Amino acid sequence: MHRPLTLAAVLVVTSLATAQPVYEWRRHDGAVKPLARNHHRMAYDAARGETILFGGRTAGGFLGDTWAYDGSGWRQIRPQHSPLARAEHAMTYDPLRQRVVLFGGTDGADFDDIWEWDGNDWTQVAQSVRNLGPNGSCCFDPRLGEVFFNRRATNLLWNGSRLLTPNVATPDAGAAGEIVYDAGFGGPVTPFLSGLKVFRPVEGWVDAVQGSLFQLFSYAMAIDPVSQHIVLQGGSGSIANGRSSGFRETFLFDGSAWSQLPDLPSPPSGRYRHAMTFDLHREVFVHFGGDTNQSIEFTDETWELVRVEPDASFKLFGSGCSGSSATTPLLQPETLFNSVPVLGGTFTLRLDRAPSMDPAWLVLGTSNTNWTGGSLPLDLTALGMAGCQLLASPNIVEPMITGLGSGRLWITLPIPSDRAFLGADFYVQAISSDPAANAPGLTWSNGGHGVIGIRP
């Protein structure tokens, strides 16, 4: 009755499609939480399974409090020792020594010290370090087994007992911004004007990726080290042609390019000077505080950005063109089989109202808006098919199987089991042979949009 489209063909299409990760923002406020603030810092303490927040600034001045968040709520920690109140410091986690490391900052005067948190207390481990101060950033570099710190042209390596200044050709990272370690590039990376820069041991800061969607500062940024997805949210500056003192947009870097995560449900309001880190155990981005974009208004909101597995779905769109029998071919999922594209399953499509015994083909593509530089849908009147439109990019065209003169045809698509394809979009349309319909002898069905996901 029907045969499956070759798995290789489906893999080609799904690899061409962008399997956009599906995320959603969820607010997590409790009765106990830190004061509203900005210019604080957070780091995920993997040994203790909690996010550590320290310091920042509020309307009453600078803060020197320590808080922990484990997903169920915040609790304030009152250690015996603590850094002086400050803001605009740098913080990260050293997994080798199981310490949160804090560099510099300001309370109006620059700090030149380094502190470490061991889960119970803060310890000052260095002081009188040149060029620390505010607006630095740091990350752990697993290649070197040390914490890497950057503040413009200052680059430092800290292993718990000594500081080293790498001698590199290009030491300046440019505008102050957050840094994270990206295994794909093999080094610390930072967004910079038109793209992304990476720090290399001999060259220093060099361009890794050209082209970006934004020029922002005072944003919050963190990386999921498993998926290697960098998430950047909010900030001040410009996105496309718009400028703001605080955006609400969320961007994702997937290893090759930045993209804006579309239509996230209930995102945080526009803000800047906030903080974000990645909770490795719960696999969520944790986000707190900052200023809103209406004024310098400190916020005390806790948000989590959660990656969700999308439900598989298939929806019809557009319309076909009628053939010689004055009926229009209708492409739809076969309800007797799996009617949505479930990861690792099969998905069967049925074409109704096709001329009996005449062949038909399935167009399988990655877009319903463009193809080879042109826009879709494409009016096919100029090609002798009045009223017909190309609705899906024809990346692959495969024959459908006739139902023995019934005017009904089928095709089965095997869906890859690779979780990298969760959320991948694909588009389909059917072409039916109908010699009496028009000069080319073809009629076209409606289109269909599939999203590969889990069973609804």
Which residue type sits at 393? S
Structure tokens at 231: 């998430």
Q: What pLDDT is stored for residue 4 in this prediction?
A: 45
* Domain co-membership, 285 together with 360: no
Q: 331: left (phi > 0), else alpha (psi -120 to 50), else beta? A: beta
Q: Which of 307, 333, 361 is the C-terminal boundary of a domain?
A: 307
* Domain co-membership, 383 together with 338: yes
Q: What pLDDT is stored for residue 380 in this prediction?
A: 97
How many CA atoms lie within 13 Å of 229's alpha carbon, on the beta-carbon side?
23
* Domain co-membership, 258 together with 353: no
DSSP string, 153-211: TEEEEE-SS-EE----SB----S----EEETTTTEEEEEETTEEEEEETTTEEEEEEE-
The candidate with the shortest Cα–Cα distance to 145, out of 86, 79, 94, 212, is 94
* Domain co-membership, 258 together with 321: no
Q: What pLDDT is stored for residue 406 in this prediction?
A: 60
* Domain co-membership, 263 together with 339: no
* Domain co-membership, 363 together with 392: yes
First and final C-alpha spacing in the chain:
27
* Domain co-membership, 223 together with 96: yes
Q: What pLDDT is stored for residue 3 in this prediction?
A: 42
* Domain co-membership, 291 together with 197: yes
* Domain co-membership, 415 together with 284: no
* Domain co-membership, 222 together with 318: no
Q: How far is CA 167 from CA 132, 135, 164, 204, 329, in A?
A: 17, 22, 9, 8, 69
Domain count, the chain: 2
3-state secondary structure of 427: strand
Q: What pLDDT is stored for residue 2 in this prediction?
A: 38
Q: What is the pLDDT along the chain (456 residues), one digit of tens a residue?
A: 334 454 445 555 555 555 566 789 999 989 999 999 999 999 999 999 999 999 999 989 999 999 999 999 999 999 999 999 999 999 999 999 999 999 999 999 999 999 999 999 999 999 999 999 999 999 999 999 999 999 999 999 999 999 999 999 999 887 768 999 999 899 999 998 658 999 998 999 999 888 777 888 999 999 999 888 999 999 998 887 678 778 899 999 988 888 888 777 788 999 999 999 999 999 999 999 999 866 668 999 999 999 888 889 999 999 999 988 888 999 999 888 878 999 888 899 999 988 766 789 999 998 999 998 899 999 999 999 999 999 999 999 989 886 655 668 888 888 888 877 888 889 999 999 999 999 999 999 999 999 998 887
Q: How many Å separate Cα 438 from the centre of its chain?
A: 46
Per the structure, the complete domain to which residue 146 belongs is given by 26-307
* Domain co-membership, 229 together with 369: no
Q: What pLDDT is stored for residue 1 in this prediction?
A: 35
CB 452 within 8 A of CB 344: no
Distance CA 37, CA 62 (A): 9
* Domain co-membership, 265 together with 401: no
3-state secondary structure of 253: strand
Domain presence at residue 402? yes
